[in-house]
A and B are shown apart, each in its own frame.
Chain A
Amino acid sequence: MRKRSYNIAAALIVFSFGAAACSETKTATTPDTAATDSTTAVADTSGGETTTTAGAGEELNKWALDYTGGTAGAATGDSVKVGYANDEDFFPENTIGINAAREYLNAELGGAGGKPIELVSCKVSNAEDGAKCGTQFANDPTIAVVITGTILNGNQELYDTLNGKKPVIVGNGVTSTDFLTPAGQAFTAGSPGVVTGLAGYIATGLTPTPKSVAILAQNNPAGQAAVPLLIAPALKKAGIAYTPVFVEDSASAADVKAALTAVGADKADVVMTIITIQQCINVYDALKQLAITPTVITTGLCFGTPMTDHLKQAGEAGPVPDGWYFGGYGYSYFRPDLESGMQTYIAKVQQYGKPAPNATTLEYTGFAGPEFANLMTFAKFVNAAKGATDFATIDAAIRSFAGPMMLQVGPLNCGKQVILGVPFPSVCGAQMGIQQLKGGEWISIADGLNGKPIDATAVQS
């Protein structure tokens, strides 16, 4: 009898745990957006801080209306459904970006074809999830397009299921699957463009030309492939010695420090890293502890609240380590311009964005911007098609999109990008930009802001 009551109690606990999932008190605070009312605000930055000043709200909306081809005002009628798949555990900023874009489009830009956009979200963190989300989207006739965020595992299964069934916009891909899939197109230069551009800059743009480069890359198939395919050819061509070392996702700060020591970071002219934000933090600490100051060239994966919090605790101002070079899609969150749409993005994400669950601050850097831009671009396609959302129309619009793309520098050439002899059938962009935070000021090294973006397809091997 006692045992049975234990079992019944255990079963009740399990069920009430499940139900409790939906009923816990959330403690995260939402940002006070009253001070950044976008109808009268435009982003203005100095140093590493982004602030807003009054004056150009209408200009921002005008830019957005010109870009999307929409009509000012709120969207009405039946919704246009957009499937959205993302790895929420690792990349919640994608969701912040796309949700802010949805709110903005629906409230001020007439949605897509005058109808409000509804996101059908699905979390992907493994193969089973990928197949499940793909099946859900592929079988739902009301879903007009699928936009992915950043998915580390399960994207192959997702794309396999969606291929030929739904138009797909590959959001912020980071694995080779994202850049080889026939299912959709990525409107950015993606990792291939950014990594190759960084290597090209080290080879021909950096002065004085370095003699040696220490490379720290993630120990996964994408990281292992990036070094020989996208980095080594440019460095070899320039006669620069390079030494790679690979670290695992779960490597500790001490492991990263040991790896940097092993790869000769103390003697190398340049330390190039292709790693996640956790390891970026570890690299920052390691360099500080080793008391060495090489030129650090890395990607926008190092942006984010964990890095900002960490620097704050280390007594440094600014969102990223001072002196580092960052590769991205050609424009800067910290020096927002009007033409690329960055000012519009900054103002609107601050107005409509909500922090990720369990977060206290709004993370709008990193992948949030391009994801915001992806939904804006989908609305542009629907508006151009006068509200049509059928597969053929949207798929054709995606595959033939030649730009300009919001927040991405340069023209697009979907399905035809070949970088260092490697074809990337789902990559549209090829240009990238590099910025540096120096003395608290952001400097355009080679990007869309100074008119000198780097074209990855022009990097020589």
Chain B
Amino acid sequence: MKGLVTKYFQWFIGLSALGMVVWALLDTNTRNQFLTGPGLASGALIAAISLGLVVTYRGSGVVNFANSAIAMYVAYVYAVLRRDGDLFLPPLPNPFALIEGVVHKLDAASTLDLPDWPTRISFGPDMQFLPALLISLLFAVLLGLALHFLIFRPLRSAPPLAKVVASIGLFLYLQAVIVRRFSIQPFAVESMPFFSGSKPLKLPLGISMNSDELAIAILVLVLTGVLYAVFQLTRFGLATRAASENEKGAVVLGFSPEFLAGTNWVISTVITGLLGIFAATVLRTVDPSVLPALIIPALTAALVGSFTSFGWTTFAAMVLGMQYGLVKYLEAQHHWFPKSAGSAFPGMERLLPLLVIVLVLFLRGKSLPTRGAISAGRLPFSPTPPRWATRYAGPALALVAAVCGLFVFGPTFRLALANSLIGIIICLSIVVITGYVGQISLAQMAFAGISAYLVAKMTTEHNVPFPIPIFIGAIVAMFVGVLVALPALRVRGVNLAIVTLAFAVAVDRAVFGNQSVNGGFKGAPVKVPSLIAQPRDVQYKILGFIAGDGKQPNPMTALFCLVVVVVLCYAVANLRRSATGRRLLATRSNERAAAAAGVNVSGMKILAFAVSAFIAGIGGAVSAYRFGGVTPDKFNYVQSLTFFAFAYLGGITSVAGSISGGLLVAGGLVFTFASETLGVPSEFTLILGGLGLIIASVRNPEGIAGATRQMGQAVQHKFARQRPSGDTSDDSSAPTATEKAGAH
């Protein structure tokens, strides 16, 4: 009966969607907004990214979140070659710079100037179209090979989490390199010679389109056909398909999955790069934000095509591109369009990809295909917090932080401490959901933002006293987290990452971009108790000692953040030690085995999402009190990606890891130290963060905390070997065999 109802509901949803498309095509006005040149061009741009995603996934099993960044990067290579005849280089490590830095530190008057890396390789003045295109595509080939051999080949048997993390690191790194080299300003791209000066073309159904737009649309369709033919009709394609379904089988049949993966990586980067170049010429400019932002609709389109069908992926991309104009038309011209604070409800065009994803998951009725790999990799080890850590190390660390914040640090490091503490809270939320249950959530800052805006409303409009808004905000975030958890019951791994990313983008545009929420003209200030208000020049007498230096920021702000962090760290550590924590890890390890052992897998996932969103909500609320106001930029989807990156880098499976991650966040203690003492500019935060994330995912999935723990254990074992036999002191930090098995 339940199945029948579900089936009817699926039909209802499907027919409703079809009806809407038919309505859009039959009505003249809507058709004119739906079937437009810009819409087709926009769809082609999305398809350009999503085709590369599908090729990569089929070839190597990697959902490459960095694909749009690769398109942008190759487009920059082409644009700079065309304009200046130069091939730009990313920032390269220069050992001489260390010597120079030390000498200049010791002797400010020193004129020591050792050789630097060049930033560009010049091929002469500006370059013609064809050589620029060929060099750019050659670069794409090398990039594809580098990505395969340096990053994704070593990760071939790693769990999806490591691959997602590596691709997110790559995304952040490529974007940061471009910002470093060219700034955020748009970079003009010369049009292709055969399109220069051409007039708009009039196509059937009243579609007006530029020749370059038409060219990219045709190119996308041709490439779709070619890829379909290659993957359906050639031996290479058949081998790739075989390997994507069952790598073991492919090996038995004599195919090398690694060769296939490498070749597909090259095909993917070349196609993505070629279409990126075309996209940049259609857009007339290239910059670090427009092309990378296409990753969300591109992922949606690829998801519709199950990361296997080129035809459905291109079709979905085209529809997603064309809907933008229709939604804008309805927004501008129809009074019935939902309103908020007198203006059209924002971000409806971004809600659609989320809606499509949810519908696809629902209509499919089963989780999306996953790749049959030769060996399933293990998630990073999640250690049980040892008793000495919770009894002694934790309080000691908190005491050190409190003493530093109150008595030792100057203003700059007090601020950095508060930034790190808030970072720790967000990282803790990621530890619970990803580290303990293995669910990849890229929406943590969306939960934090929901809570933060609620705090602003409650304190200014309803005068709710401190600290009640923190709890209310966190509870609401928790309920939203439970809602997001529902798709998690059907999907996992990369697919869940896509769902949560789409959710983060939708919340960013539709909720945080909404004047009713963000306060519009007057913003969203927060009433902060004067005791913890950050901009105060105050000193306090504590136990006879003077706390603070009488300068901003108020040391009590950091202390307030510290208290929250300590409480949450203990709560999360206890969760890990508890029976519930073991059930969470069992769910992470093997859902079927956990269910067979009597663990309520669905319940565990929902619980993890709820706890994680609650903690993120606390983080958002603390941030709101700390800054005295809420702005959308603090909680957008890029922030979610960045925090995820630093959480992984710190160590995603332990409380210690979240502390390491918090220290690493932008504006945190590590980068403040680097900037204040080594003079590392702030724009290097993301370059180093992205690079660190790639290195961590390949070399050390347990992050900094894991590496530190391993080093500690190595020292301990060395020590133990030197002890006389019979000296068997308690070694509570070393996991038992049973514990270790469960924690993986």
Contact = CB atoms under 8 A, between A and B. Distances in A.
Interface stretch (B15-23, B285-293, B653-661, B722-730): B285-293
A32 interface: no
A441 B628 CA distance: 49
Contacts of A125: 682
Contacts of B98: 15-16, 19
Given A126-B666, A278-B285, A422-B521, 19 more contacts: A12-B93, A13-B93, A16-B95, A20-B93, A25-B118, A89-B683, A127-B634, A136-B412, A138-B537, A160-B535, A220-B632, A222-B521, A225-B520, A252-B294, A253-B282, A261-B36, A262-B328, A263-B332, A306-B188
Nearest to A232: B342
B625 to A, nearest CB: 13
Contacts of B187: 306
Interface residues of B, number: 110
Nearest to B679: A22
A249 B627 CA distance: 25
Given A156-B523, A254-B213, A291-B200, A25 B331 contact: no
Interface in A258-286: 258-259, 261-264, 277-278, 281-282, 285-286
A399 B299 CA distance: 53
B581 interface: no
B535 A134 contact: yes
Given A18-B684, A177-B523, A249-B289, A263 B328 contact: yes
Contacts of B523: 156, 176-177, 221
Interface string B25-54: 000000001001111011001000000000
A16 B97 contact: yes
Contacts of B627: 127, 131, 156-157
Contacts of B666: 126, 128
B117 A24 contact: yes
Interface in A281-338: 281-282, 285-286, 289-291, 304-306, 309-310, 313-315
Contacts of A23: 94, 96-97, 100, 114, 116
The 10 A-B residue pairs whose C-beta atoms are closest, nearest first, are: A258-B325, A128-B667, A19-B97, A225-B521, A262-B329, A262-B328, A257-B38, A16-B93, A18-B680, A254-B42
A22 B101 contact: yes
Contacts of B331: 245, 262
Given A19-B94, A244-B343, A262-B329, A129 B682 contact: yes
B103 to A, nearest CB: 11
B210 A17 contact: no
A450 interface: no
B333 to A, nearest CB: 7
Contacts of B100: 19, 22-23
B223 interface: no
B328 A258 contact: yes
Dominant SS among interface residues on chain A: helix
B691 A3 contact: no
A131 to B, nearest CB: 6
Contacts of B33: 258, 261-262
Contacts of B39: 254, 258
A290 B200 contact: yes
B78 to A, nearest CB: 14
Contact of A221 (B114, B186, B521): B521
| Residue from the set A24, A128, A246, A253 with the largest chain B CB neighbour count within 10 Å | A128
A153 B523 CA distance: 12
Given A221-B519, A258-B38, A21 B681 contact: yes
11 contacts: A7-B699, A21-B680, A27-B119, A132-B415, A135-B415, A135-B552, A160-B629, A252-B291, A278-B185, A358-B181, A422-B521
Contacts of B185: 89-90, 92, 277-278, 304-306
Contacts of B199: 291
Contact of B321 (A227, A249, A254): A254
B687 interface: yes
A180 B513 contact: no
A17 B182 contact: no
A264 to B, nearest CB: 7
B695 interface: yes
A16 B101 CA distance: 10
B156 interface: no
A291 B551 CA distance: 60
A317 to B, nearest CB: 15
B566 interface: no
A251 interface: yes
Contact of B328 (A20, A177, A245, A306): A245
Interface in B330-373: 331-333, 341-344, 346
A229 interface: yes
A239 interface: no
Q: How large is the interface on A (under 10, 10 to 19, 20 to 34, 35 or more residues)?
A: 35 or more
A253 B283 contact: yes
Contacts of B282: 253-254
Nearest to B512: A221
A229 B213 contact: no
A390 interface: no
B515 interface: yes
B518 interface: yes
B513 A25 contact: no
A310 B91 CA distance: 28
A258 B213 CA distance: 13
Contacts of B687: 17
A77 to B, nearest CB: 22
Contacts of B679: 21-22
A258 B552 contact: no
B414 to A, nearest CB: 8
B629 to A, nearest CB: 5
A190 to B, nearest CB: 14
B42 A250 contact: no
Given A244-B332, A315-B197, A221 B116 contact: no
A253 B683 CA distance: 27
Contacts of B667: 126, 128-129, 132
B438 interface: no
Given A23-B96, A90-B185, A156-B631, A17 B515 contact: no
Nearest to B666: A128
B116 A123 contact: no
A32 to B, nearest CB: 18
Contacts of B289: 249-250
Nearest to A159: B535
Given A127-B634, A227-B343, A245 B332 contact: yes
A438 to B, nearest CB: 23
Interface string A150-188: 001100110011010100000000001100100000000
A267 to B, nearest CB: 11
B183 interface: yes
A24, A27, A258: residue with the most chain B Cβ atoms closer than 10 Å = A258
B524 to A, nearest CB: 9
Nearest to A229: B521
B688 interface: yes
Interface string B493-527: 00000000000000001000101001111110000
B189 to A, nearest CB: 8
Nearest to A3: B699
A156 B518 CA distance: 14
A306 B285 contact: yes
A55 interface: no
A196 to B, nearest CB: 13
Interface string B82-119: 00001000011111111011000000000000101111
B699 A10 contact: yes
A89 B683 CA distance: 10
Contacts of A225: 515, 520-521
A391 to B, nearest CB: 13
A10 B86 CA distance: 29
A248 B509 contact: yes
A228 interface: yes
B647 to A, nearest CB: 17
